[in-house]
Chains A and B, each alone.
Chain A
Amino acid sequence: MVDPWTIFWVVTTFGLYIIIAIRARAGSTEDFYVAGHDVHPVINGMATGADWMSAASFLSMAGLIAFMGYGGSVYLMGWTGGYVLLALLLAPYLREFGKFTVPDFVGDRYYSKVARVIAVLCALFVSFTYIAGQMKGVGVAFSGFLGVSFNVGILIGMGIVFFYAVLGGMKGITYTQVAQYVVLIFAYTVPAIFISLTITGNPVPQLGFIGNAAGTDVSMLDKLNTVVTDLGFREYTSTDKSQLDVFCITAALMFGTAGLPHVIIRFFTVGSARAARKSAGWALMFIALLYTVAPAVGAFARMNFVDTVNEATYIADAENYETRAAEILADGGKPVPEWYKDWEKTGLLAYEDLNGDGVMQYRGPDAPDGLANEVTLNRDIFVLANPQIANLPNWVIGLVVAGGLAAALSTAAGLLMVISSAVSHDLLKRTFRPDMSEKSEMLAARVAAAFAVLLAGLLGIFATQLPFVAQVVAFAFGLAAASLFPIIFLGIFWKRMNKQGAISSMLTGLVTTFAYIYYFKFIDRTAEHWLFGISPEGIGFVFMWLSLAVGIGVSLVTPPPPQAIQDLVQDIRIPGMRRIHGARDRDMPPTPETKVT
């Protein structure tokens, strides 16, 4: 069964993205890499919101929080707090520096091709890990809701991204991301408002979250704590993680967010340092619209799931749902809800009648009544089934699928830009073929983007066989925090930081973090062996300090950077000085480049 409204929304939104792409074609490398350096701060903020909020934020986060309770706070604080670091420490200065990419800054600031190439490798690894997850999300959405196979779904998604990323570059991506933001935020908040009304009687989810349960004078969270502990789960407002681990994961996600290349490059697209600061504020506002709703949705969905599913009488597929449901109600029982039956077909929910009583027992590990759990569910169900749980019309349900696709495609496009510019600009133009004309660089960028789309699709198709894809949170954020953030930060705030320091700092962060995550994710999964009890998701924060220390130590025992570089750092700290000293965004004079060592 394919819902016509789902098809309607997916076709309409995809058509919209294509129209935007045709109207926003890139004419120059500046258009292609940074959308001409003149995007309005609010527009860029919105585009950053879509760029940032991935399939995981949209589909999985509320469900994760629903199961983790307080433990889910690491994502909420981590993925928003990073924007404070970005706005205060990186974005305005990197914009003032100009240029196109993160490795551009690293290569120029540290006057070294080696540093540039290592930064390219970090950016590529982080981006490919991340993009595979997005393409997988696209495949899941298509196969689950549009009646086509997983692989065909990925191919359709690749086709759409190919069209606007290869044709329009950053310019095309910026304006499609704005449209995608509108689609995804609408699809997320409308069902949230209605489910908030159902559970708490308050239409504002953020207020419902701290309000009372509908029709009672008990607070919603207190009631939820009672409900879940009665079934043998942990209290909702508690966590099984240690305080130190919560601290480290939150920090790794924050510093990782600030160091992620696909987020940073969005701030190269605005006109000035001042615009970059404002834009970071707008970006966080657009992100907060979803992120402050998510914990409410998680809590409401958990409550609603227990209310409607636990102790409900199951109705088999062979029976007529309506007549059987009426019979159960007449007997004073609770029939399994209709949305449950609808979603059961997707395999996201399953019921196994262990005690043969025909009633669905949903239980935690320490159920006081000793009964076994009979209901298993995929956490994504909480966002996907929300509109039906809240009895919303069919057109809203289709919109959620379009919203999930918008979230996945917009993030994938941002990552594609990092990948293609890393190859065409940083590897070719700035490292191996400096005499390349602008026209051939554009062509190279488009070819690189096309190849990146293909590779991303393949990674998505084989995602289930590639274990690292499932570890995006650990790998992408950990590596961004430990290898990219320290050298960008020191490059701006410490003039004395030199080439040797930067190279050793990046390598330290990269090798230690990668090794730790790989070891504890794939070789030894015993949590008792973790260093200080810190999980692989949080270790990036620890190795970030090591990377900072190594960078500073090595710089101090090697010669200081050339005067021209120290002047460059001085200039990017004071907005406007780069321009006064003759640097223009286009064709900035190359900084002195020492021989590759």
Chain B
Amino acid sequence: MSEEQPTGPSAANQAAYWKSTLRLTISLLAVWFLVSFGAGIIFRDALDNFSIGGAPLGFWMAQNGSIYVFLLLIVIYCIRMTQLEKKYGIRG
């Protein structure tokens, strides 16, 4: 808080913040791809050998499970981004 100057965070901090943001974004999108296109479509048949309650797992991931994970991904993103902003003195 105290290090904030009228010019905003330092160039080094800005660069580090952006790098961390990109890394976070890419890893969350990897999970996004795996749970929907992966679990729900590509590996659906293999996952259907397992079940959650009375539903085949692959089918359930496509119809319900992936949606819960999507929500979780955005929550994690919000929390991590707030931490990153604090760490690098970014005041949005």
Mark contacts of B53-83 with chain A using CB atoms, 8 A cut-off: 1 yes-contact digit, 0 otherwise. 1111001101110111011011101100110
CA distance A273 to B92 in the complex (A): 7
Given known A-B contacts A574-B8, A575-B85, A580-B8, A76 and B53 have beta carbons under 8 A apart: no
CA distance A588 to B33 in the complex (A): 37
**Is there an interface contact between B81 and A284, defined as CB atoms closer than 8 Å?**
no
Mark contacts of A218-251 with chain B using CB atoms, 8 A cut-off: 1 yes-contact digit, 0 otherwise. 1111100000000000000100000100110011
**Is there an interface contact between B81 and A77, defined as CB atoms closer than 8 Å?**
no
**Is there an interface contact between A211 and B53, defined as CB atoms closer than 8 Å?**
yes
Number of residues in A with C-beta < 8 Å to the partner?
54
Residues of B within 8 A of A77 (CB): 36, 40, 62, 66-67
**Is there an interface contact between A247 and B37, defined as CB atoms closer than 8 Å?**
yes
Say yes or no for A140: interface residue by CB 8 A criterion: no
Q: Which of A206, A278, A573 contacts B64 (CB 8 A)?
A: A206
Which of the 9-residue segments A81-89, A177-185, A323-331, A333-341 touches chain B? A81-89
Given known A-B contacts A70-B59, A221-B54, A88 and B28 have beta carbons under 8 A apart: yes
CA distance A219 to B54 in the complex (A): 5
**Is there an interface contact between B63 and A88, defined as CB atoms closer than 8 Å?**
no
Q: Which of B8, B25, B71 contacts A288 (CB 8 A)?
A: B71
Closest to B85 in A: A575
Say yes or no for A209: interface residue by CB 8 A criterion: yes
Closest to A580 in B: B8
Say yes or no for B42: interface residue by CB 8 A criterion: yes
Taking residues whose C-beta sits less than 8 angstroms from the other chain, chain B's interface range is 35 or more
**Is there an interface contact between A576 and B92, defined as CB atoms closer than 8 Å?**
yes
Q: How far is the CB of B78 from chain A (nearest CB, A)?
A: 5
Q: Which of A254, A285, A574 contacts B71 (CB 8 A)?
A: A285
**Is there an interface contact between A575 and B90, defined as CB atoms closer than 8 Å?**
yes
Mark contacts of B1-25 with chain A using CB atoms, 8 A cut-off: 1 yes-contact digit, 0 otherwise. 0000011110000100110010001
Q: How far is the CB of B29 from chain A (nearest CB, A)?
A: 6
Q: Which of B32, B62, B75 contacts A281 (CB 8 A)?
A: B75
Main secondary structure of the interface of A (DSSP, over half): helix
CA distance A206 to B54 in the complex (A): 12
Q: How far is the CB of B1 from chain A (nearest CB, A)?
A: 13
Say yes or no for A72: interface residue by CB 8 A criterion: yes
Q: How far is the CB of A456 from chain B (nearest CB, A)?
A: 31
Q: How far is the CB of B43 from chain A (nearest CB, A)?
A: 11
Residues of B within 8 A of A237 (CB): 48, 56, 59
Given known A-B contacts A73-B63, A284-B74, A250 and B14 have beta carbons under 8 A apart: no
Say yes or no for A292: interface residue by CB 8 A criterion: yes
Residues of A within 8 A of B21 (CB): 573
Q: How far is the CB of A584 from chain B (nearest CB, A)?
A: 15
Query: Total A-B residue pairs with C-beta atoms closer than 8 Å?
Result: 143
Q: Which of A206, A243, A251 contacts B42 (CB 8 A)?
A: A243
**Is there an interface contact between B63 and A295, defined as CB atoms closer than 8 Å?**
yes
Residues of B within 8 A of A212 (CB): 54
Q: Which of B40, B55, B66, B74 contacts A209 (CB 8 A)?
A: B55
Say yes or no for B52: interface residue by CB 8 A criterion: yes
Q: How far is the CB of A396 from chain B (nearest CB, A)?
A: 25
**Is there an interface contact between A84 and B73, defined as CB atoms closer than 8 Å?**
yes
Q: Which of A80, A207, A246 contacts B67 (CB 8 A)?
A: A80
Q: How far is the CB of B38 from chain A (nearest CB, A)?
A: 10
**Is there an interface contact between A280 and B74, defined as CB atoms closer than 8 Å?**
yes
Residues of A within 8 A of B41 (CB): 73, 243, 246-247, 250
Given known A-B contacts A72-B63, A573-B18, A274 and B70 have beta carbons under 8 A apart: no
Say yes or no for A291: interface residue by CB 8 A criterion: yes
Instruction: Find residues 281-321 in chain A having any chain B CB closer than 8 Å to their own CB.
Output: 281, 284-285, 288, 291-292, 295
CA distance A312 to B55 in the complex (A): 29
Say yes or no for A454: interface residue by CB 8 A criterion: no
CA distance A570 to B90 in the complex (A): 14
CA distance A85 to B74 in the complex (A): 9
CA distance A209 to B59 in the complex (A): 11
Q: Which of B56, B77, B90 contacts A277 (CB 8 A)?
A: B77
27 contacts between A and B (CB under 8 A): A70-B59, A73-B40, A76-B63, A77-B67, A87-B74, A92-B81, A209-B63, A211-B53, A211-B54, A218-B54, A220-B54, A221-B56, A221-B59, A222-B54, A237-B48, A237-B59, A251-B37, A277-B74, A278-B78, A285-B71, A291-B67, A295-B64, A574-B8, A574-B18, A575-B91, A575-B92, A577-B14
What 7 A-B pairs come out closest when comparing CB atoms? A219-B54, A575-B92, A210-B53, A73-B62, A281-B74, A295-B63, A210-B55
Residues of B participating in the A interface, judged by any CB pair closer than 8 Å = 6-9, 14, 17-18, 21, 25, 28-29, 32, 36-37, 40-42, 48, 51-56, 59-60, 62-64, 66-68, 70-71, 73-75, 77-78, 81-82, 85, 90-92
A sample of 10 more A-B contacts (CB under 8 A), given A88-B28, A96-B92, is A73-B59, A81-B36, A85-B32, A207-B53, A211-B53, A219-B55, A274-B92, A288-B71, A576-B92, A580-B8
